[in-house]
Amino acid sequence: MERLSDSEIAERLSDSSWRLEDKTTIVREFERASFADAVAFVNAIADLAERADHHPDVLIHDYKQVRLTLSTHSAGGLTERDFALAGAVDALP
């Protein structure tokens, strides 16, 4: 998968809740209703990630906060796969 240019990344991030971090990753924080809801949300993300064969870094913190970090390590930055998975995550309830 080919790495996206800075302008392609900026275009995909416009009108998005995801933010660029370190020029090589996109990050988003989600607040869930409870710890159990955060875990269920992470499990739903895991299902999406497995189907896409593309796996984010996931952190549950402050008991109901979920932080996702996406990057295509083999490309050394962001690719279309990252934004496709981000969009799928955004569509989760």
Segment 12-27, tens digit of pLDDT: 999 999 999 999 999 9
The reply to whether 58 falls in a domain is yes
The reply to whether 82 falls in a domain is yes
pTM of the predicted structure, to 2 decimals? 0.94
Residue range of the domain that includes 10: 6-90
The reply to whether 13 falls in a domain is yes
The reply to whether 63 falls in a domain is yes
- Count of the separate structural domains present in the chain: 1
Per-residue pLDDT at 1: 83
Per-residue pLDDT at 26: 98
Q: Give CA separation, 52 vs 22, 44, 62, 71, in Å.
A: 24, 13, 28, 13
Task: Extract the residue ranges of the chain whose pLDDT is less than 70.
Answer: none
CATH number of the domain where residue 80 is located: 3.30.1360.20
Whether 79 and 1 have beta carbons less than 8 Å apart is answered as yes
The reply to whether 41 falls in a domain is yes
The reply to whether 1 falls in a domain is no
